[in-house]
Structure 1
Amino acid sequence: MSAPHVRSVNIGPGVPSPHTSAPTTGIDKRPVDHVEVRDPGPKHGGLGSGCVGDTIGDRRHHGGRTQAVYAYAREDLDWWAERLGRPLRDGAFGENLTTVGVDCTTARIGELWRVGEVELRVEVPRIPCRTFAGHMGIPGWVRRFTAAGRTGAYLSVVRPGTIRTGDRVTVERPDHDITLLLEFRAATGDRAAAMRVLDSGVLAPEEHDWLAGRLAPR
């Protein structure tokens, strides 16, 4: 078995978005040899993506410090390809990093990934949206993706630099059991999971506030 590594680095130039009110989308990502990554700053008023040359069309809901880089496992793409009955290329889910041998679903919040010269921090799971559903073109995709729980990992940039195809990935796991999958269940309606995640105090402040807002009476 090969060591954990980045199989593909992917970015998406902005193209017109037919699925949402945002004027453009960068979800249709394509492989490149390397990408410069940096902290894009806050979601509102920042640079959008943490990957130079990548586009975040809907900055109200996507991008920013805690969603700077999106990683998805090649193993999970293969799992989906088998069930969908069609091939899925690297970057098919709009991920910046297609990984091999890296857990992108039950990674722990706060886990550190060293990717070449870059250091990334696991922050939150991907919540499926209309743009993703439109890109996939599969009826009921949001519901199906949610049920499967193979979320991929949104990452912040702790140490900027260049990520290249083939870079090794080493992982440093924190001493708690709050995983991306638990946070995903919390974010998609499981109140008991949400309370557990909030009580743990492991989320970045903006993500903690967002999840707490989901629990607040309306």
Structure 2
Amino acid sequence: MPDHGSLKSINIGKVQVLNQTIKTGLLKSPIHENEIILVTDSNLFGDEQADLINHGGPDKAICVYSYDHYSYWEEALKTPLPLGAFGENFTVHGLTEKDVLIGDVFQIGEAIVQVSQPRQPCYKLAKRFNKELLPLIISNTGYTGYYLRVLNPGKISLNDSLTFLDRPSHNITVAFVNEIKYLDKENKEAIEKLVQLQELAENLRNSFSKRL
């Protein structure tokens, strides 16, 4: 079970125009320390997504990224990074892709959430940092971040602790799903296992099923 991990920042943002052409909800800012945010079934109240097909919704309600990766990207991108730099709603200490399992359950404030799938980096990150191959680089490192589904909506704040509640019986991490999705693409045994993994988001299970 993850015995470390804490919430560093809660980030939200409205849809904005990036580079004068691209509508995106990627540009998020941290809320104030005492500010209270409502977690709904599909997102954080006050947060917006421009592409509602690929972002938001029940299995992608909250995006999480580990602050543990920030120093790597600051060196790679040669720039300091603000909190929420990767468009994540929760910036966390610890709880990297190798630490959490698909299906892990956490509580923050009144809300109960569950890890549902890795985050798939998109071209808008490349545009934000002016690095065309950034989504591919993120995929190859496995530093993708991941999504949470909401099991119980409720109010949260930065003063609330992030508490581990439950872990499924399997040992499939977010990092393992990334490995099969991006690197070990022909691993039939692993793909079959992921197709049967009920805690994994349905759209991703369907995508793996098509590979078979």
Q: TM-score band (shorter)?
A: 0.7 to 0.9
In the other structure, the counterpart of 1:107 is 100
Query: What letter is aligned with 2:71?
Result: D
Structure 1 residues 166 and 99, CA gap change in structure 2 (3 angstroms):
farther
| CA displacement, residues 15-64 of structure 1 (integer Å, 9 cap, x when unaligned) | 125598xx621101001134211112xxxxxxxxx111111111122211
Which one of the candidate residues 127, 131, 138 is aligned to 2:131? 138
Secondary structure of 1:24's counterpart equals strand
**Does residue 57 of structure 2 align to residue 27 of structure 1?**
no
In the other structure, the counterpart of 1:10 is 11
Secondary structure of 2:205's counterpart equals helix
Deviation above 6 Å: which 4+ runs of structure 1?
none
Q: Hey, what's the Cα distance between the residues in 1 that align with 2:96 and 2:108?
A: 14
Which one of the candidate residues 193, 204, 207 is aligned to 1:207? 204
Q: Given the two structures, how large is their TM-score scaled by the length of structure 2?
A: 0.85
Please say if residues 122 and 156 of structure 1, whose CA atoms lie closer than 8 Å, have aligned partners that are also in contact: yes
Structure 1 residues 134 and 19, CA gap change in structure 2 (3 angstroms):
farther
Q: Hey, what's the Cα distance between the residues in 1 that align with 2:78 and 2:160?
A: 30
Post-superposition offset of 1:204: 3.5
In the other structure, the counterpart of 2:175 is 181
Q: Hey, what's the Cα distance between the residues in 2 that align with 1:158 and 1:201?
A: 15
Structure 1 residues 84 and 205, CA gap change in structure 2 (3 angstroms):
closer
Structure 1 residues 82 and 163, CA gap change in structure 2 (3 angstroms):
farther
Post-superposition offset of 1:105: 4.3
In the other structure, the counterpart of 2:114 is 121
Secondary structure of 2:148's counterpart equals strand
Q: Hey, what's the Cα distance between the residues in 2 that align with 1:19 and 1:149?
A: 30
Secondary structure of 2:156's counterpart equals strand
Secondary structure of 2:70's counterpart equals helix
Structure 1 residues 17 and 81, CA gap change in structure 2 (3 angstroms):
closer
Q: Hey, what's the Cα distance between the residues in 2 that align with 1:105 and 1:167?
A: 24
Q: Hey, what's the Cα distance between the residues in 2 that align with 1:200 and 1:5?
A: 27
Q: Which runs of 5+ in 1 are unaligned?
A: 41-49
Of 83-92 and 192-201, more deviation after overlay is shown by: 192-201
Q: Given the two structures, how large is their TM-score scaled by the length of structure 1?
A: 0.83
Q: Hey, what's the Cα distance between the residues in 2 that align with 1:19 and 1:72?
A: 26
Query: What letter is aligned with 1:36?
Result: L
Post-superposition offset of 1:191: 3.0
Secondary structure of 1:144's counterpart equals helix
Alignment: residue pair count: 203
Instruction: Give me the CA root mean square deviation.
Output: 2.3
Query: What letter is aligned with 2:171?
Result: D
Please say if residues 97 and 173 of structure 2, whose CA atoms lie closer than 8 Å, have aligned partners that are also in contact: no
Post-superposition offset of 1:66: 0.5
In the other structure, the counterpart of 1:47 is none
Query: What letter is aligned with 2:17?
Result: P
Q: Which runs of 5+ in 2 are unaligned?
A: none
Please say if residues 4 and 101 of structure 1, whose CA atoms lie closer than 8 Å, have aligned partners that are also in contact: yes
Please say if residues 5 and 167 of structure 1, whose CA atoms lie closer than 8 Å, have aligned partners that are also in contact: no
Secondary structure of 2:138's counterpart equals helix
In the other structure, the counterpart of 2:186 is 191
Percent identity, please.
30
Which one of the candidate residues 73, 77, 88 is aligned to 2:66? 73
